[in-house]
Each structure stands twice: as C-alpha cells, then as structure tokens.
Amino acid sequence: MNRIEQAFQQLNKENKKAFVPYIMAGDGGLENLPERLALLEKFGATAIEVGVPFSDPVADGPTIQRAGIRALQNGTSLKGIIKEITKARESVTIPIILMTYLNPVYSYGIETFVRDVQTAGVAGCIIPDLPVDEEAIIAPLLEQAEVELIRLVTLTTPIERIREISNKGKGFLYTVTVKGITGTRNEFGNELHSFLQAVKEVSPIPVLAGFGISSQEQIKEITKYCDGVVVGSKIVEYFANNQLEEMEEFMTIYKQTFA
C-alpha cells in the first residue's frame, strides 16, 4: 500500500481530515528542505507537497511564482531536490508529493525521473500541465514504481469526466477551488460547496481542495464538504518571512477541528 493510501486510512480511523502544506523547494536554500519538511511533519501535516521551481509556472499565483524565482536564483534543480528528499526520508515519515511541470521531467528523462523519485521515497507526483488524455507517457511507469499520479479537476470539469478521472488513481483527487491561479483568497464562490459535494459523490478516492485557502475559517468551512485541504501560498509566506510560530499556530487547525 502506498504511503498516501496508508495516511488516509489512518485519518479515517481517527475521523480526521487531511492538511497538506505546499513548500517551494530551494526557496531559502535547498539545503534547508529536509529541515523544513521535518518541521511541517512536526506541526501536524498529513503529507507535504514539494514544488519544483519552473520558469513558466502557469498554475502558480504571485506568491509561489516569487518563491520559484528565488529558488531558481539559488541554483535549485530537480536533481538537487530529489537528492534532498532522499536525505529527508531518514527522518520524515509522512508522504512527500512532488509537484512539477512536465518540461523539467522531459529534460530529466522520464524513465530516469521515475526511477529516482521511487528511490527517494516520493509517494506521489502532481504534473498540472499533463493532460489526462496524454498521461500514458509517464503514468504506467509511475504506477509500476508505486508512485501515485495525483490528478486535478476544476470547477469547469464535467461531472462524468470527474468520475472517469477519479477512477484512475489510488491517492487522492486534487480539486481546484477557483477559476484561475493559486494565491490567497478572501472568499470563494457559492458554487464551491455544491461542487465539492458532487465530486465526493462520484469519487472512489479522497477529495482534497486546494488553491487560495489561507485562513482557519476557510479550512473549517471547506472541509465540511471534502476530505482535506492543500495550503500553498500561506505556508510559502510563513517560511519566506521566517514566521514559524505563526505557521505552527495556523496549522493547529488540523488538531483543533478534526480530532
């Protein structure tokens, strides 16, 4: 059983929801990645999404784009990230999910990439610019390596398409909560709750909501309709400003609400 499946199985036993923070690898120095992953686990993360900086991040909002630029300026590479994740695996036990665009994977070499992430103990990959209809270039290799391909659906994805996509994986379904890029939001559209409910009804795997979630109040409301949240820009900001105490307090929502 994949680490992601194990994590959700444990959450179900404890009647909890998932909290998955996103971190940009290399922002603040790539050598700090293992320490930051361990800190997020200590603060209660269910799993951690590790972003790979890319020059043309079409899905990322301003906060994550700036973090990616800083990481690239620090000389961060995909190979270096995988090396640091390998080191982190000595102490970090929760699932690590690598978020990368397709171009870095092509440049790395698809077969070599899959082999190396498997060796590093990566539990899953998110490739937002990989269309589901074209995922055969890597999905079978990831499946053989027991690395989950985490697929995304949006507010505009037809429900039958969501049913089809959610039946492909064993990890979780990443449900994008906004029509647009990542970044903190003050509020979400009224359609989100009914959309999440509809997705939950057809998906055989856990449903997580992500993009724009930045407050404990939003987390409390959104997780009434799904299995957990992915929080990106807010966590990136905390690390960038060295607000570790504030981040720990923010992440107590995991313990306060879902215990």
Q: Which residues are catalytic?
A: 49, 60
Say if CB 109 and CB 98 are below 8 A apart: no
Q: Looking at residue 227, what DSSP letter applies?
A: S
Structure tokens at 50: 């590790």
Instruction: Identify the residue whose tokens are 């929502």.
Output: 253
Helix/strand/coil percent split, the chain, to 5:
50, 15, 35
Tally Cβ neighbours within 10 Å of residue 201: 11
| Inter-CA distances, 222 with 1, 171, 183, Å | 28, 20, 16
User: What's the CA angle centered on 214, arms 208 and 220, to 5 degrees?
Assistant: 60
Contacts of 151 (CB under 8 A, 6+ apart): 132, 165, 166, 168, 169, 173, 174
End-to-end CA distance of the chain: 24
3-state secondary structure of 21: strand
CA dihedral defined by 161, 3, 8, 220, rounded to 10 degrees?
-90
Say if CB 88 and CB 38 are below 8 A apart: yes
| φ/ψ of residue 253, rounded to 5 | -55, -35
